[in-house]
Amino acid sequence: MSPTVKYKKLDPRAQVPAYATPGAAAADLCALLDAPLTLAPMQRALIPTGLAIELPDAGCVALVYARSGLSIKHGVCMANGVGVIDSDYRGELRVPMVNLSTESYTIQPGERVAQLCIAPVWQANFAPAEELSDSQRGAGGFGSTGKL
């Protein structure tokens, strides 16, 4: 069952998030710009989308991810890695971007700049513990391999 996510266009030019293919896990978010915006190397900018969303309940989170094509081809990615949109946020979706390349990159009005993924979320109950159970990896691992 797919959740229904309500959206509001804050600007009539805003583009509704859309899945590029039937198998896409995330919908594209597009830049709402009056003119092209050039990011110099190492420059950051907050890119508006002109959209606000309402998640169905506290059991959902919206996650904003970089587009891999922009990252790999041009070195342009999200400044914060992954954006977390809580279920009670109603403001404009804006994408913090950074140009990690050595060359300038120009973001065009309407360009797909990020991906929006809706996922389930659980709020944990945190409990103090004197000891934690053993695991195969243990406490001394580095990364996923447990090795340097």
Query: Is there a domain that residue 113 lies in?
Result: yes
d(CA 122, CA 110): 34
So what's the pLDDT on residue 77? 94
So what's the pLDDT on residue 145? 59
User: What is the CATH classification number for the domain harbouring 13?
Assistant: 2.70.40.10
**Cα angle 148, 145, 69; round to 5:** 95
Query: Is there a domain that residue 67 lies in?
Result: yes
What does DSSP assign to residue 3?
P
Query: Is there a domain that residue 133 lies in?
Result: no
Give Cα separations from 68 to 54, 100, 112 (angstroms): 26, 13, 11
Query: Is there a domain that residue 147 lies in?
Result: no
3-state secondary structure of 9: strand
In our burial notation (b when 16+ CB lie closer than 10 A, e otherwise), range 126-140 reads eeeeeeeeeeeeeee
So what's the pLDDT on residue 141? 59
| Model pTM score | 0.86
- Token couple for 43: 């420059």
Query: Is there a domain that residue 129 lies in?
Result: no
Query: Is there a domain that residue 1 lies in?
Result: no
Query: Is there a domain that residue 42 lies in?
Result: yes
Query: Is there a domain that residue 80 lies in?
Result: yes
d(CA 144, CA 108): 38
d(CA 82, CA 114): 10
Domain that residue 11 falls in: 6-120
So what's the pLDDT on residue 142? 59
Question: pLDDT 10s per residue in the chain (148 long)?
Answer: 788 999 999 999 999 999 999 999 999 999 999 999 999 999 999 999 999 999 999 999 999 999 999 999 999 999 999 999 999 999 999 999 999 999 999 999 999 999 999 999 999 999 999 998 887 766 665 566 555 5
So what's the pLDDT on residue 126? 96
Domain count, the chain: 1
